[in-house]
Amino acid sequence: MRYVRAGAPPWQWRLRAGACPGCGGNRFLAFEDTPFHTRCLRCAATLVNLSLIPVIRQHCGSDLAQRRAYELSSYGATYDFLRRHVRELHYSEYFPEHALGTEVNGIRNEDATRLTFAQELFDLVTSNQVFEHVPDDVAAYRECFRVLRRGGAMIFSVPLYDTQRTDQVARLDAQQRIEWLAAPEYHDSRVAGPQSAPVFWRHSRHDILERVRLAGFPRPQLVSVSILPAQRLPQPIVYAVKE
């Protein structure tokens, strides 16, 4: 739990009962009453990360063990689940100082906007809290569309805000330097460390599906997932199938 910053004091933390879709645990600790601040006590995964798993299961059905998947990170509950249950799992991080498609400390290096994978290679592409850190998120969705087979699905989460439209926080200039368009914002990364991942987008729940449609997915959906019976705020998951 190194990179969790809980705003509520410890005497306001609460134990919650439920069924963890990742490890099968049945107790959760809520630092705050939100999916991001509620973790399984057995595997330490947040409800945000765990919420992709029911959507993956529903999409794949009984064929999950035959699927080839690509996860855009090298850790987390979704990664752990896919590693145990799919036939073949590819995963990556982004190391800008290294050649794309090569391995850095055993992890494949990929830029989400220009993947080195062949087209129509995967049945699943999954991502947790990544696309807000990509300078061109729509280009990344297009790349996910390209590497998916027909009938394959892109399933992901990003922080969603109740704003009219998605706001751009930063962009890259011609020299690939960050140019801030709003107050600078960084998130933590288990790979690069605390406050190491710049935020480029504050995605709106009202236009996120339109941004995904621009990549070629004809009917993306926003699925509300609740892991706990007493969960006050369901976690929204983007589910887009390549038809």
The span from the CA of 120 to the CA of 216, in Å, is 14
- Output the pLDDT for position 2: 39
- List the beta bridge partners of residue 202: 167
Residue 212: per-residue pLDDT: 98
| pLDDT at residue 4, as a whole number | 47
pLDDT band at 195; cut points 50, 70, 90: confident
- Whether the pLDDT of residue 1 is over 70: the answer is no
From CA 36, how far away is CA 25, in angstroms rounded? 17
| Token pair of 243 as six digits | 């038809």
For residue 189, what pLDDT is reported? 79
Q: What is the mean pLDDT of residues 207-228?
A: 98
Q: Which of 148-157, 168-177, 193-202, 208-217 has the lowest mean pLDDT?
A: 193-202
Of the CA atoms within 13 Å of residue 237, those in its CB half-sphere come to 29
| DSSP secondary structure letters along the chain | -TT----S-GGG-EEEE---TTT---EEEESSSSSTTEEETTT--BHHHHTHHHHHHHHHGGGGGG-EEEESSSSSHHHHHHHHHSSEEEEEE--TTS-TTSEETTEEE--TTS--SPTT-EEEEEEES-GGGSS-HHHHHHHHHHHEEEEEEEEEE--EESSSS-EE-EEE-TTS-EEESSS--EEEETTTEEEEEE--EEEETTTHHHHHHTTT-SS-EEEEE--STT-SSPEEEEEEE--
Mean pLDDT value across the chain: 94
Per cent of the chain over pLDDT 70 is 97
CATH superfamily of 51-225+234-241: Vaccinia Virus protein VP39 (3.40.50.150)
Determine the pLDDT at residue 107. Answer: 96
CA angle in degrees (0–180, nearest 5) for 50-53-59: 160
Portion of the chain with pLDDT greater than 90, in percent: 89
The whole-angstrom separation of Cα 117 and Cα 114 is: 9
pLDDT digits (tens, 9 = 90+) for 120-150: 999 999 999 999 999 999 999 999 999 999 9
Q: For residue 5, is pLDDT > 70?
A: no
Q: How far is CA 8 from CA 5, 32, 44, 65, in A?
A: 9, 6, 18, 40
Q: Is the pLDDT of residue 193 over 80?
A: no
Note the pLDDT of residue 67. Answer: 98
Q: Could you state, in order of their start, the residue ranges of all structural domains in the chain? A: 51-225+234-241
Over residues 64-116, the pLDDT tens digits come to 999 999 999 999 999 999 999 999 999 999 999 999 999 999 999 999 999 99
